Amino acid sequence: MTFLDMLRGAEQRNGSLLCVGLDPDPARFPAALRGDASRIHDFCAAIVDATADLAIAFKPQIAYFAAHRAEDQLERLIAHIRRAAPHVPVILDAKRGDIGSTAEQYAIEAFERYGADAVTLSPFMGFDSVEPYLRREGKGAFLLCRTSNPGGDDLQNQSLASVDGQPRLYEHIAQLAQGPWNRNGQLGLVVGATYPSELERVRALAPTLPLLIPGVGAQGGDAVATVRAAWRGDATHTTGPVVVSSSRAILYASSGDDFAAAARQEALRTRDVLHAARAA
């Protein structure tokens, strides 16, 4: 199955647009695990087990593992996801962006070492920095487009000189991803939930691409406004998949021994809010 097949299958099977972000910070673990970086896998695996039937995707953020020399735990975690939720795709949040020969090595890391189904990338260095990932048949790549952080304005919201007017940089990226760069139908875009009007603009420019939307939950993005801006279609089908990511609000819903149960309740609540917004 391709990444898009898995994504649509998980959406239908789990009735979900919710991507569970896995950003493990040992300093925020429940008391029995707190501060112990050797338990990153155990913490994340418990979250996966608690939310496997609620997620459209899991999104481990590689920096939270690498900072603690826990890359081996990330490998084990993705293998665990394969066993516990084989129908749910894994998006490796790495935001890689480098020249072609180096990009090929990063593609090996993402797809062969870790076994991810998709990866997040920076498009700043152009198509030749993206193309090596697209050689991997059936794999997905999400390009940073309009990110949820305030500093995104520094570059992404700048106007470009053009015969067609003055598009913003993020609009240009969306057009490239929907058009000439998307040679094998493998591309998607990362667009923050904190900018719903610009999210709506990206959807208009890229009507069929999957959108990975962080910023719901701890970052303050409105879940209902997010879905309304990104969803196109009827209450059950959309022309472009919508993948709304929440990390800290789910991971740290409780600091007690009930952390996994609390994570499930928060994931269930968020999934249901997102589901209801499709028909709003």
Q: Which residues are catalytic?
A: 95
- Rounded Cα distance between 169 and 161, Å, is 10
Q: Both ends of the chain: CA-CA distance in Å? A: 32
- Rounded Cα distance between 204 and 231, Å, is 10
Cα angle 142, 146, 147; round to 5: 85
Query: Residue 244: helix, strand or coil by DSSP?
Result: strand
DSSP structure string for 88-103: S-BEEEEEE---HHHH
Using an 8 Å Cβ cutoff, are 131 and 176 in contact?
A: no
| H helical segments located in 52-168 | 62-66, 71-84, 100-108, 131-134
**Which has the closest alpha carbon to 90: 219, 212, 202?**
212
Give one word for 134, left, alpha or beta, with left for phi > 0 and alpha for psi -120 to 50: alpha
- Rounded Cα distance between 273 and 52, Å, is 18
Strand partners, 53: none
The tokens of 206 are what? 């890229």
